[in-house]
Amino acid sequence: MFETVIGLEVHVQLNTDTKIFCSCPTSFGDEENKNVCPVCLGLPGALPVLNENAVKKSISFGTAINATVNQKSVFNRKNYFYPDLPKGYQISQFEVPIVENGEINIDFEDGSVKRIGVTRAHLEEDAGKNVHEEGHSNVDLNRAGTPLLEIVSEPELRSSDEAVAYLKKLHAIIRYLNIGDANMQEGSFRCDANVSIRPKGDEKLYTRVEIKNLNSFKFIQKAIDYEVQRQIEAWEDGVYEQEVVQETRLFNSDTGITRSMRGKEDSAEYRYFPDPDLLPVIIPDEMMSEYSKIPELPDEKKERFVSEFGIKEYDASVLTSSVELAKYYEDMLDNGADAKLSVTWLTTELFGRVDGGVENSPVDAKTLASLVCRIKDGTISGKAGKEVLGYLVDNQISVDDAIEKLGLKQISDDGAILKLIDEIIASNPDKVAEYKGGKEKLFGFFVGQVMKASKGSANPAKVNELLKSRIG
C-alpha cells in the first residue's frame, strides 16, 4: 500500500496596474513587445524600482492565511539562461520571503476540514513568453516583469482530490481579497505539482517529480493521478530507481500522460545572491496595519452561514467557494428567500440548468429569490417550480408572469379544494365506507383522486388537511 505525497507551488499574478520593477502596464493580450522598457528588457544600467502595491497585496495575503508577514524581506537574483529571461536572471526572493508559515483549510463533503501548511509566499517577476512557430521561435516580453506571488505548500496533500480542494480554496482567497484575477486560462493562476509516493507508514520523503504549468483543475487532477500511477507501477515492477528520478515533467492534456522535460535543478545551481540593485524591503508599521485589514474570507463566511442561516457545513463551503456565489446567495436572502430552500434552488436546480457559475446565469438573485418565495408560500408546487425555472432560464420574464403564463398556480383556496373533495367522496361511497371501516391506506387513493381532478394544481398539503377534516 502506498501513500501519495503532494506539495504545490502556485504562481499568482498580482493585479497591479504596472509591473513589479518598472512602470510598464501589465495588461493582457496586447500586441507583442508593446509593454516594455529598458528595465524589463534588461538593458545595461537600467535600475529596478519596487512596486509598492505588490507589497501591500502580499501583506493582505499573508494575513488571510494566518502567516507571518516579514517586515523585512530580501530580493535575490536567481540565475539561469532562457530566451524569455532578458537579464539572464530572475528577481525573486530566497532566504527571506515576504510571507512564511501560513495555513489553508480544505473542506470535504462530510463537512470535515484539513489544515494544509503554507511554507512560504514570495514575490518575484514573471518571465516573458516564447512563441513557437514553424521553423523558428519568437520572444514576447510583455509579460516579463509582471508581479507574481509564488505560494508554496508543505508536502501535506495526500491525493489529487486534496490537491484540487487546496487549489480551489487558494483561488477563492485570492478572489475574495481581490489581489489577483486568478484567471487560469490567461495564466494568472498557474500550478506546479511536486509528486512522490512512499510505502504507507514510511516517514521518509522519496524522489519527487515536478509537473509544470498546469492550468485547469481538471488537468491538475489527471496529471497527478497519472504520475502517481506511473510511480507505483515502477515500484511494483522493481524499476523505481531507474524510472523515477528528480526531474520536471510536462502533462499533455490530449494524451493524459506526463513526459520528461528536463532534469530538475537543485537550488544551488541557480546561484542565488541578494540583488545589489535592490535594498531589503522594509514594511512600515502603518502599512502593515492598514493592509492587514481584510474582508470576510471563505472560512469565516462559511461559519457565519452555518450559524446565522442554519445550513449544513458542506453547503456553506460550496456557497462560499467563490465570492460571486456567496454574494448571489446573500442577495437571495436579502430578497426574502428562505435560507435552506435557497441552497437547493441555487446549487442543485439553477446549477443543473446553467453552466459556468452564477456569473453566467440568465436568472439573477432577485428573480430566483422570488421563485423560492412562491414555492414557500404555496403559490406553486416544487415540481412546478422546476418548470418555471426552466422557463426563466430561456425567457426574460418575472416569476409571477411565468407562473401565470404556464398556468401553474396551485389551488390553495379551501372552498375550491373542498368542492373537489366532496365530488370525489360522492362518487366513491363504497371506498369511503371501506376507509371508515379501517382500511386506512385508502387515504392515499383519495388524495390521488383530488389531485387528478385538479389536474395536479391543488396544493397537496391543503388537500391532505381538508380531506382529514372531511373523512377523519
Query: What part of residues 27-56 is at the interface with Zn ion (CB under 5 A)?
Result: 37, 39-40
Give the shortest CB-34-to-Zn ion separation in angstroms.
11
Among 6, 10, 14, 24, binds Zn ion (CB under 5 A): 24
Q: Which residue has 501548511 as its cell numbers?
A: 117
The C-alpha cell of 311 is what? 445550513
Report helix, strand or coil for 72: strand
> Is the CB of 43 or the CB of 393 nearer to Zn ion?
43
> Is the CB of 51 or the CB of 160 nearer to Zn ion?
51
Give the shortest CB-127-to-Zn ion separation in angstroms.
13
Which residues, in sequence order, are CB contacts of 229 under 8 Å at separation 6+?
Answer: none
Q: What is the C-alpha separation between 147 and 20, in angstroms, rounded?
A: 5
Beta bridge partners of 147: 125
Between the alpha carbon of residue 160 and those of residues 182, 195, 225, 238, 472, the distances in Å are 20, 10, 6, 25, 58
Q: Which stretch binds Zn ion (CB under 5 A): 21-29, 231-239, 406-414, 444-452?
A: 21-29
Q: What is the C-alpha separation between 314 and 280, in angstroms, rounded?
A: 44
- Distance from CA of residue 11 to its chain's centroid? 16
Q: Which stretch binds Zn ion (CB under 5 A): 19-27, 209-217, 242-250, 401-409?
A: 19-27
Q: What values do phi and psi take at 216, rounded to 5? A: -150, 150
> Is the CB of 148 or the CB of 388 nearer to Zn ion?
148
> Is the CB of 38 or the CB of 448 nearer to Zn ion?
38
Q: What values do phi and psi take at 161, rounded to 5? A: -60, -45
Q: Which stretch binds Zn ion (CB under 5 A): 22-30, 72-80, 195-203, 210-218?
A: 22-30
Amino acid at 121: A
> Is the CB of 37 or the CB of 139 nearer to Zn ion?
37
Give the shortest CB-14-to-Zn ion separation in angstroms.
16
In the chain, % helix, strand, coil (3-state, to 5) comes to: 40, 20, 35
Give the shortest CB-40-to-Zn ion separation in angstroms.
3
Give the shortest CB-187-to-Zn ion separation in angstroms.
19
> Is the CB of 21 or the CB of 226 nearer to Zn ion?
21
Q: What values do phi and psi take at 350, rounded to 5? A: -65, -45
Which H or E run contains 389?
helix 382-394
Give the shortest CB-37-to-Zn ion separation in angstroms.
3
Give the shortest CB-28-to-Zn ion separation in angstroms.
15
Among 22, 172, 179, 467, binds Zn ion (CB under 5 A): 22
Count of residues touching Zn ion (by CB under 5 A):
5
**CB half-sphere exposure, 360, CA atoms < 13 A:** 7
Give the shortest CB-39-to-Zn ion separation in angstroms.
5
Q: Which stretch binds Zn ion (CB under 5 A): 18-26, 342-350, 379-387, 456-464?
A: 18-26
> Is the CB of 26 or the CB of 76 nearer to Zn ion?
26
Q: What is the C-alpha separation between 359 and 409, in angstroms, rounded?
A: 30
> Is the CB of 45 or the CB of 472 nearer to Zn ion?
45
Give the shortest CB-141-to-Zn ion separation in angstroms.
9
Q: What is the C-alpha separation between 98 and 87, in angstroms, rounded?
A: 23
> Is the CB of 86 or the CB of 180 nearer to Zn ion?
86
Q: How many helices (H) and strands (E) does the chain have?
A: 17, 16
Query: What part of residues 264-323 is at the interface with Zn ion (CB under 5 A)?
Result: none
Q: Say if CB 295 and CB 60 are below 8 A apart.
A: no
Q: What values do phi and psi take at 6, rounded to 5? A: -130, 135
Q: Say if CB 175 and CB 322 are below 8 A apart.
A: yes
> Is the CB of 8 or the CB of 22 nearer to Zn ion?
22
Amino acid at 415: G
Which H or E run contains 442?
helix 442-453
Give the shortest CB-49-to-Zn ion separation in angstroms.
10
Give the shortest CB-142-to-Zn ion separation in angstroms.
10
Is residue 232 exposed (0-12), middle (13-18) or buried (19+ Cβ within 10 Å)? Answer: middle
Report if residue 141 touches Zn ion, rule: CB under 5 A: no
> Is the CB of 62 or the CB of 147 nearer to Zn ion?
147
Binding site for Zn ion (CB under 5 A): 22, 24, 37, 39-40
